[in-house]
């Protein structure tokens, strides 16, 4: 059965391997550095402006990740860092926002994401996800993590719902 993209109200995602390619650079002070794709970030801003509930569920524990994602329009409190149980966290999002699983899209790429991919109404994995995540996903993107995967997924949802901005005048009014 095909996933119901028209039911999606909330978009939740992992960071490493989804917003990034999974690589982590380390600075001289041993602080982790990540490279984000600006097209993904712009897509998140567009989703926020279109009224989607946005959230991040990541095992990462760095305030730099929170700052970057809030700049993309994810509310501060919806950036959940150092999460060990992603299924529990996605259930908490559903309770907080009175959402059914069918109204949630989750993007993940690795074994810690498998339960969340199964639980969400729509689970999406990048093309370079581990096999377990690919098997759990309802949709596998042709795009790898950190290379526009998030943007591809957001466009898919917004287009399915007739909310994709393609009119230049309307687009300019949004920003």
Encode pLDDT of 2-26 as tens digits. Answer: 899 999 999 999 999 999 999 988 8
pLDDT at residue 175 greater than cutoff 60: no
- The SS3 call for residue 20 is coil
Q: Per residue in 98-117, pLDDT tens?
A: 999 999 999 999 999 999 99
The residue-averaged pLDDT of 41-53 equals: 94
d(CA 98, CA 165): 27
3-state secondary structure of 132: helix
- Report pTM: 0.93
The residues spanned by each domain of the chain are 5-167
Q: Which CATH superfamily is domain 5-167 in?
A: HAD superfamily/HAD-like (3.40.50.1000)
DSSP label of 5: G
Q: Encoding tokens for residue 109?
A: 């790429």
- Split at pLDDT 50, 70, 90, the class of 32 is confident
């Amino acid at each position: 059965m095909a996933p119901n993209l028209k039911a999606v109200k909330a978009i939740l995602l992992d960071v490493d391997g989804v917003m990034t390619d999974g690589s982590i650079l380390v600075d001289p002070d041993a602080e982790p550095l990540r490279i984000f794709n600006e097209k993904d970030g712009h897509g998140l801003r567009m989703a926020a402006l279109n009224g989607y509930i946005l959230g991040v569920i990541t095992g990462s524990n760095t305030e730099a990740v929170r700052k970057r994602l809030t700049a993309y329009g994810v509310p501060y409190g919806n950036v959940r860092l150092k999460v060990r149980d992603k299924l529990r966290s996605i259930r908490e999002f559903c309770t907080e926002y009175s959402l059914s699983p069918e109204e949630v899209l989750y993007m993940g790429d690795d074994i810690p994401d498998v339960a969340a991919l199964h639980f969400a109404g729509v689970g999406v994995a990048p093309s370079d996800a581990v096999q377990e995540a690919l098997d759990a996903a309802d949709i596998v993107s042709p795009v790898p993590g950190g290379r526009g995967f998030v943007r591809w997924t957001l466009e898919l949802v917004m287009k399915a719902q007739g909310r994709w901005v393609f009119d230049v005048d309307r687009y300019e009014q949004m920003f």
